[in-house]
Amino acid sequence: MKALLAAAALTAITFANPAQAASQADVEALMKIVEATGTSVSLNTNHFDKSCLGRAAYYTYEEDVEDILVVCTDHVDTNDPDAMWEAIAHEATHVAQACQGGPAVADAYRPRMYRELQTMAPHYSKQVTQDYASDDQLVEVEAFWMELQHPTFVMEFIVASCTKN
């Protein structure tokens, strides 16, 4: 049922809106796709919540306990579609990884993904190696790389990742 809802949400959104990078419509569409997987999406306006300390957003998943993507409004301007897109696309990639039970990008594409990240956003590449343990670097590279992809690709990727299981 989850798979059908996510696929239906993507179909309705893809045909209803022309593809525009980082538009408000893209942000809303991605949020609907994430919610169709069963993940709640929340804007955290609690300025005293330590979970948002130093973060733009985060995703928490514990089977049968918690499944939520949170955008931290202290660090993300909710009126800026680019900022919202980056935060949600990044965390939506972690949703896809949870659906897959680990990294969601096929092994064959990883070298290309690393090269693209180093070329297009070297600050992200540096952040991954400096701020994340080696065990977490692959999933973070995927998430940072996904922020740079076309909205239609990201939305299709999330749906495909979460409908295979």
pLDDT digits (tens, 9 = 90+) for 66-120: 999 999 998 999 999 999 999 999 999 999 999 999 999 988 998 999 899 999 9
78-108 per-residue burial string, b: 16 or more CB within 10 A, e: under 16: eeebebbbbbbbbbbbbbbbbbeeeebbeee
Give the span between the Cα atoms of 80 and 82, in whole angstroms: 5
Of 62, 9, 4, 64, the closest CA to residue 31 belongs to 9
Give the span between the Cα atoms of 100 and 118, in whole angstroms: 25
Helices 2-16 and 151-163 cross at an angle (nearest 10°) of 160
Tell me the per-residue pLDDT of 50-71, one tens digit each, with 9 for 90 and over. Answer: 888 888 999 999 988 899 999 9
The helix or strand, by DSSP H or E, that contains position 139, with its residue range, turns out to be helix 134-147
More confident residue, 6 or 79: 79
Give the span between the Cα atoms of 73 and 43, in whole angstroms: 6
The radius of gyration computed from the CA coordinates of the chain, to the nearest angstrom, equals 15
Q: Are 58 and 51 in contact (CB under 8 A)?
A: yes
